[in-house]
Amino acid sequence: MSTSLHHRAIENLGTRIVAGELPTGHIMLAEQLEDELKVSRSVIREAVRVLQSLGLVETTKRVGIKVLPSSRWNPFDAQVIRWRLSGDGRGAQLRSLAELRSAVEPAAAELAALNAPARLRRELVDIAHDLRDAGHSGDVPRFLELDIAFHSVLLSGSGNEMFANLMGQVAETLTGRTVHGLMPDHPHEGALQWHVDLAEAVAAGDAPAARAASDRIMRRTMSRMSGTWTDQPRVFIPVRRD
């Protein structure tokens, strides 16, 4: 029960902060949150600790719990991504993630073609063919599961641990696009084939072909999603000079 209450408190406060319902500079008191959320002080304390680790709040003695600006949030955390995708900032979050993926995934595909062990190469090909079948059949939950697996194996196969640690962010992106109705029941046939082309290029050790196929996938993704972020402002993080 305590774990459930802890999770609910984090979700409640995190969602409201990211949505702007609790704006930058807003001060919260632990005792007020106890009454509002009907939980114990220990649950509030742990929830605040998690939110503080994400850069959403800071605590100050004799002041309270202060909401921090978005420039302080951890943009790579899966929870922050999920909260942003569920709110008015969805388009800007999708743009940031799509641009990140466009920069990273073609490079990861090239590296996977050069470095991935045989087991991961075979797995990527198998997933790509299953993904195409799921797309043809319109099995959306299965397609999402396979799509996450495909891009996770690709990042892992690069042999670059920093690329591999973007699996969670990619999973949240693909899940968010599906949950919020931004994916068709039957994906574009060309995109399905490009996933197969990418997997087979990795399996064959053809680095230029792998990069090119990944680039085609990401360019189509950017083109298809661009309407969601029209006129969405960008976030410019202040440069620390100390």
Domain parsing of the chain, residue ranges:
2-72, 78-229
- For the stretch 184-234, pLDDT in tens is 888 899 999 999 999 999 999 999 999 999 999 999 999 999 999 998 988
pLDDT at 238: 83
Closest to 225 (Cα-Cα) out of 178, 192, 190, 186:
178
Nearest to 73, CA basis, from 158, 14, 114: 14
pLDDT tens string 39-95: 999 999 999 999 999 999 999 888 999 999 998 999 999 999 999 999 888 999 999
pTM, 2 dp: 0.89
DSSP structural state of residue 72: G
CATH number, domain 2-72, options 1.10.10.10, 3.40.640.10, 1.10.760.10, 3.30.70.980: 1.10.10.10
CATH architecture designation of domain 78-229: Up-down Bundle (1.20)
Q: Where are the beta strands (DSSP E) in the chain?
A: 27-28, 57-60, 64-67
Report the alpha-carbon distance of residue 99 to residue 93 in Å, rounded: 10
Share of the chain above pLDDT 90, in %: 86
The percent of residues in the chain predicted with pLDDT above 70, rounded, is: 99
